[in-house]
A and B are shown apart, each in its own frame.
Chain A
Amino acid sequence: QKEVEQDPGPLSVPEGAIVSLNCTYSNSAFQYFMWYRQYSRKGPELLMYTYSSGNKEDGRFTAQVDKSSKYISLFIRDSQPSDSATYLCAVDQTGANNLFFGTGTRLTVIP
């Protein structure tokens, strides 16, 4: 069983739509939850980081963690063409950077 499962998409939405990206994980010991964004020909960059359960908001982005169902989500409001990228979820048990990544979801926002 993979540590993290992520729907690879691709996902296409019109500009202004609300986007929901999701991952599930297998080990309840994971405590750190990250979302990375990777533009074409670039390395991943950290978008959001959450410790334990709950929500975290940063501008148009909201990360949610539901530890009871081992489910993590990233919501993008008022999506923009510049949000077109691959979004990777990642989990970590101890914060020591033993990251387990999802396969990534490719998102295209159409103007």
Chain B
Amino acid sequence: ETGVTQTPRHLVMGMTNKKSLKCEQHLGHNAMYWYKQSAKKPLELMFVYSLEERVENNSVPSRFSPECPNSSHLFLHLHTLQPEDSALYLCASSQDRAGSYNEQFFGPGTRLTVL
């Protein structure tokens, strides 16, 4: 596997379910990100991890819970979601998060549908 991978690629869940999204980066990067992409809306940054510490949480509802057990893996735990949470969830990584510009590399995303 190369780059940034995400599983599952598609997920349908009910409002009372608990599920998790997984992201893995094979680039040796130190920073990882979760974004939400909804139709006709800009990408919304949800969480940022740098060296396994959460450094940003952009007012995301508590029904989304991130976890970064090591610098290569990032999870997004989901529980009691709402239909408006249906979207494409993208994971990204970059070498670092400070200093000069660091390109972000994106995974293919998980298409989430909440019924």
Give the B-binding residues of A (Cβ under 8 A).
2, 4, 8, 32, 41-46, 49, 51, 88, 90, 92, 95-104
A101 to B58, CA, bound (A): 15
Number of A-B contacts (CB under 8 A): 54
Give the A-binding residues of B (Cβ under 8 A).
4, 31, 33, 40-43, 45, 48, 56, 90, 92, 94, 97-109
Q: Is the CB of A43 within 8 A of B92?
A: yes
Complex: chain B residue closest to A51, CB-CB: B101
Looking at chain B's contact residues, the main secondary structure is: loop
A32 to B99, CA, bound (A): 13
Q: Which residues of B contact A43 (CB under 8 A)?
A: 4, 90, 92, 106-109
A49 to B105, CA, bound (A): 13
